[in-house]
Amino acid sequence: MRVDIEGLDAHRGGRRVVSEVSVSVPSGTVLGMLGPNGSGKSTLLRAVSGVAAPSSGRVLLDGRDTASLSRREMALRVAVMAQEHSEEFEIPVLDMVLLGRIPHGRGFGNDSDRDVAVALGALERVGASHLARRAFSALSGGERQRVLFARALAQDTPVLVLDEPTNHLDIAHQLELLDLIRATDKTVLVALHDLNLAARSCDTVGVLVDGRLAALGAPDEVLDTALIRTAFDVDSTAVDHPRSGQRHFLFDARSSAARDGADHRDGRDDPDRPDTEPDHEGTPVSLTAPEGSTRP
């Protein structure tokens, strides 16, 4: 299902925090939303998923304006994994995942065999089958994230909206979750903080700065040291992964001297800057694979 965001503005607390965002997400592709804290990623995703209506602009799902869809019609199209969840319910994990089946069925507690099979299948996909009988409230943060992702999968929608789904996850589970996202044929909009994970996992990335889209495109085209400095206020060095060749960024906090002066002289004569110049212009530096690391 194609998602088109057209000229979207959104307000929080009476203030416009997303301005004139337009993005098209082709069916089956993954859009990563990046940006510093408070740049408007969650607010944009809330507007896309219908949690909060945009103050202007519109969101189209396969050409249909979401404003014309009922809540159930939305829930059959878009599953949401929100950033903060206050679910302290004592309910078993399986029941939590079954909540994702409500738009398909007869309501809470009336789950069909198929609903249960779908929920168990979703738990298995996220490696959480062993948690099915545990109380959701008794899970760790990472376990909860995986269960909530299972709930979103169990909703069986063509579109997934995921707000920092890798929060709390250990590295293995971060990679696993993003691989699962990549492997689905769903259209995915996902807010992420880890630029390297985003570059690895997204077809397109959009970078929000102060609620405006500062950049949009394929990760390799969009992410470079200049953009990272402007958007995130950190210095970075681009390196190629010794085995995969994929570009990665190493980050350094910017010195206050660089901050004070760099905006108009680009930091080139910064006294804190090393003589051996890490590449700050976006051309990746090649790293040589350590000896013996010849595995593909």
Ligand X SMILES: Nc1ncnc2c1ncn2[C@@H]1O[C@H](COP(=O)(O)OP(=O)(O)OP(=O)(O)O)[C@@H](O)[C@H]1O
Contact positions toward ligand X, by CB under 6 A?
12-13, 17, 35, 37-43, 83
Q: What is the dihedral of CA 94, 88, 36, 38, to 10 degrees?
A: 130
Q: At residue 144, what is the residue type?
A: R
| Shortest distance in whole angstroms from residue 31 CB to ligand X | 15
| Shortest distance in whole angstroms from residue 33 CB to ligand X | 8
**Residues paired with 175 in a beta bridge:** none
Cα separation, 225 vs 230, whole angstroms: 9
Q: Which is nearer to ligand X, 7 or 38 (CB)?
A: 38
| Shortest distance in whole angstroms from residue 45 CB to ligand X | 8
**HSE-up (13 A, CA, CB side) for residue 54:** 25
**Residues paired with 209 in a beta bridge:** 212
Q: Which is nearer to ligand X, 118 or 223 (CB)?
A: 223
Q: Which is nearer to ligand X, 222 or 238 (CB)?
A: 222
| Shortest distance in whole angstroms from residue 113 CB to ligand X | 39
What would the DSSP string read from start to end of 52-104? S--SEEEEEETTEEGGGS-HHHHHTTEEEE-S--------BHHHHHHGGGGGG
Angle at 173 between CA 222 and CA 288, to 5 degrees: 55
Q: Which is nearer to ligand X, 21 or 96 (CB)?
A: 21
| Shortest distance in whole angstroms from residue 244 CB to ligand X | 27
199 and 236 Cβ atoms separated by less than 8 Å = no
| Shortest distance in whole angstroms from residue 52 CB to ligand X | 10
End-to-end CA distance of the chain: 35
The residue nearest ligand X at its CB is 13
| Dihedral pair phi/psi, residue 275, rounded to 5° | -70, -45
| Shortest distance in whole angstroms from residue 15 CB to ligand X | 7
| Shortest distance in whole angstroms from residue 192 CB to ligand X | 10
- Angle between helix axes 141-154 and 113-125 (nearest 10 degrees) is 130
Q: Which is nearer to ligand X, 34 or 99 (CB)?
A: 34
Q: Which is nearer to ligand X, 5 or 17 (CB)?
A: 17
Cα separation, 292 vs 222, whole angstroms: 33
Q: Which is nearer to ligand X, 18 or 139 (CB)?
A: 18
Q: Which is nearer to ligand X, 43 or 204 (CB)?
A: 43
Cα separation, 20 vs 8, whole angstroms: 5
